[in-house]
Amino acid sequence: MRPMTLSALMTAVLLTGCASQTPETERSPYGVWEGTLPCADCPGIETRLTLYREPDTYKLTETYQERNGDVTEREGQWQVLPPTDPMDLGRISLQGDNGKVVRMYRRLPEGDLEMLNRDGERIQSKLNYTLRRKRL
């Protein structure tokens, strides 16, 4: 009976160790950015971008104003792209499940992000495409 008791005790210890690990859904964010971006057919798109580390994943939530709860959520991988010129602080690329680029942002000196067009270039507009970094 003693070997059986020892085996049961070891199993309980192993299960307790596994249960104490932090689930992946509770990973801590690397950074959170928010802002209201321009919309072609609504007052604006309330945008929240959360970047996580290890693994480098993101969650992008976009809520279209005055559209009765029209919310889009995306998740996937993100990466920092190298600078394109000496004044560039780098760009952040968000990929969807299929590996295609969903969004691109330019890093700004204050820690904010500016949304770029599909080619990774600045959007030529007087409208504000900036997401402000939130303190964690």
pLDDT confidence bin for 85, thresholds 50/70/90: confident
Q: Is the pLDDT of residue 19 over 50?
A: no
Total domains in the chain come to 1
- For residue 87, give its domain range: 26-134
Q: Kindly state whether residue 121 falls inside one of the protein's structural domains.
A: yes
CA dist., res. 135 & res. 100, Å (int): 30
Q: Kindly state whether residue 14 falls inside one of the protein's structural domains.
A: no
- CATH code assigned at 48: 2.40.128.640
**For a pLDDT cut of 90, what percent of the chain falls above it?**
64
pLDDT confidence bin for 14, thresholds 50/70/90: very low
Whether the full predicted model's pTM is greater than 0.85, yes or no, is no
Q: Kindly state whether residue 108 falls inside one of the protein's structural domains.
A: yes
Q: Is the pLDDT of residue 3 over 60?
A: no
Average pLDDT over residues 53-66: 94
Q: Are 13 and 5 in contact (CB under 8 A)?
A: no
